[in-house]
Amino acid sequence: MDDVFENNGKLYLPLFSPDALVVLSESVRHAVATRSDNIRTPHLFMGLLSFPDSGVIAWGQSLNADLNQLSVQFQELFHQDKTPEHAKLFLHREFLSDQVIELIRDAKDRSSIHARKTVTPMDLLISLLTDSDSVVIDCFQRIGITAAKLTEYAVLAECRFSVSDDSGMDAA
C-alpha cells in the first residue's frame, strides 16, 4: 500500500501492529476526552503513554518519568471546552490533523526502512519526537529536555528491545 489511507479516507489498519492499533484507538479516546475536534499530536502522545509497550516504558524510565502522570499532565494541558462532550472521532483522514497524518506517514516509512511489515508504537514515538514542529516537543523543551535527548532515549530503548526480541531473550 502506497499510503496510510484507504481510498475512502479510513486509516489502513493492516499497516499497524496490534499494539500500535491500541495506541491509535487510545489517541481517539484522548481526543474525545479532551474535547478536541480532531486528533492531534498530543493525543497520539497520550495514546502512547496510556498503552506503553516495552520500548515506550524504557524511554520513560530513561527520562525518570512517570508515564501515567505525564499522560494526566498532557490531558490537563490540552483540554478544550469548544467541542461537545460526546464528539464522534474516528481513525479517518478528516479527523486527523495534518501534522498527525504526516507523522503516521513518517512512521510507516520508518518501519519500512527498518524492514518491519507493520508500524510499531516506537515508530510512532520516534516520528513524533523528530517532528520539529511538534507541540509535544515544545512542552518538553520548556522544561529543559531537548528533542535530541528525547529522540536519543527512544532510539536506545528501541534498539534494546528489538535486539532482545530478535534473540528471544529478555531485555532486562
Any domain includes 5: no
> Using alpha carbons only, what angle is made at residue 160 by residues 20 and 75, rounded to the nearest 5 degrees?
40
Any domain includes 58: yes
pLDDT at 60 over 90: yes
Any domain includes 8: no
Per-residue pLDDT, averaged over 61-89, amounts to 85
How many C-beta atoms surround the C-beta of residue 3 within 10 A? 14
How many C-beta atoms surround the C-beta of residue 76 within 10 A? 9
Helix (H) or strand (E) holding 41: helix 41-50
Any domain includes 3: no
What are the residues facing 41 on neighbouring strands? Answer: none
The Cα 70–Cα 77 span in angstroms is 10
Domain count, the chain: 1
- CATH at 84: 1.10.1780.10
The Cα 74–Cα 109 span in angstroms is 27
What's the pLDDT at 169?
A: 36
What's the pLDDT at 79?
A: 84
Can you give the pTM of this predicted structure? Answer: 0.89
Whether the CB-CB separation of 36 and 126 falls below 8 Å is answered with: no
Any domain includes 6: no
The Cα 127–Cα 130 span in angstroms is 5
Q: Which residues of 15-40 are buried (b: 16+ CB within 10 A; e: fewer)?
A: bbbebbbbbbebbbbbbbebbbeebb
Any domain includes 39: yes
- Report CA torsion sign: 140, 48, 117, 158: positive
Q: Name the percent of the chain lying above pLDDT 70.
A: 90
pLDDT in tens, 83-133: 566 678 999 999 999 999 999 999 999 999 999 999 999 999 999 999 988
Any domain includes 23: yes
pLDDT at 56 over 60: yes
Domain that holds residue 126: 13-167
Q: Residue 162: which pLDDT band, with cuts at 50, 70 and 90? A: low
